[in-house]
Amino acid sequence: MLWAQASQAHHRGDLTTAARLYCRLVTHEPQHVEALYRLGCIAFQQGQPAQARDYLMQALALRPGDATIHSGLADVARALGDLQGATTHYRQALELDPQADHTPTGLDDTLPVPGVAMSDSASG
């Protein structure tokens, strides 16, 4: 019931209510990966990348092979200025699910590829 209410609030754009309900859900089910992931997304949308990273890292610890979580962590790392972390998570997301729409299609000049000159990474 909490999951449905939280999801509906989230889809309506009521992020405050959605976050409150996801938090209640995680209090009752600490290993609810989707609720942790969505809390991370909301925190990121609200300009709180450090808090987003915390929620997403909790979700990743429970589901380490999830490309969506890695992609979210890449976005957060990039926002925090951690380009190495962003590159690592983007690559992991691509490795886990290379065809998914939520993963980037390639790394641009703002995310240098280790061992490759920046101009080479953009043209490859």
Round the CA-based radius of gyration of the chain to a whole number and report it. Answer: 16
| pLDDT tens per residue across span 31-66 | 999 999 999 999 999 999 999 999 999 999 999 999
Structural tokens at position 103: 């993963």
| pLDDT tens per residue across span 2-35 | 999 999 999 999 999 999 999 999 999 999 999 9
Crossing angle (nearest 10°) for helices 2-12 and 33-45: 20
H or E element, residue 84? helix 83-96
* Whole-Å CA distances, 102 to 3, 20, 30, 31, 106: 22, 26, 25, 23, 12
Residue 102: per-residue pLDDT: 53
- pTM score, whole prediction: 0.81
Structure-model confidence comparison of residues 119 and 53, the more confident one:
53
Residue 100: per-residue pLDDT: 74
Structure-model confidence comparison of residues 107 and 18, the more confident one:
18
List, in order of start, the domains of the chain with CATH numbers. 2-123 (1.25.40.10)
What is the 3-class SS of 10-40, one letter each residue? HHHCCHHHHHHHHHHHHHHCCCCHHHHHHHH
Q: What mean pLDDT do residues 85-103 have?
A: 85
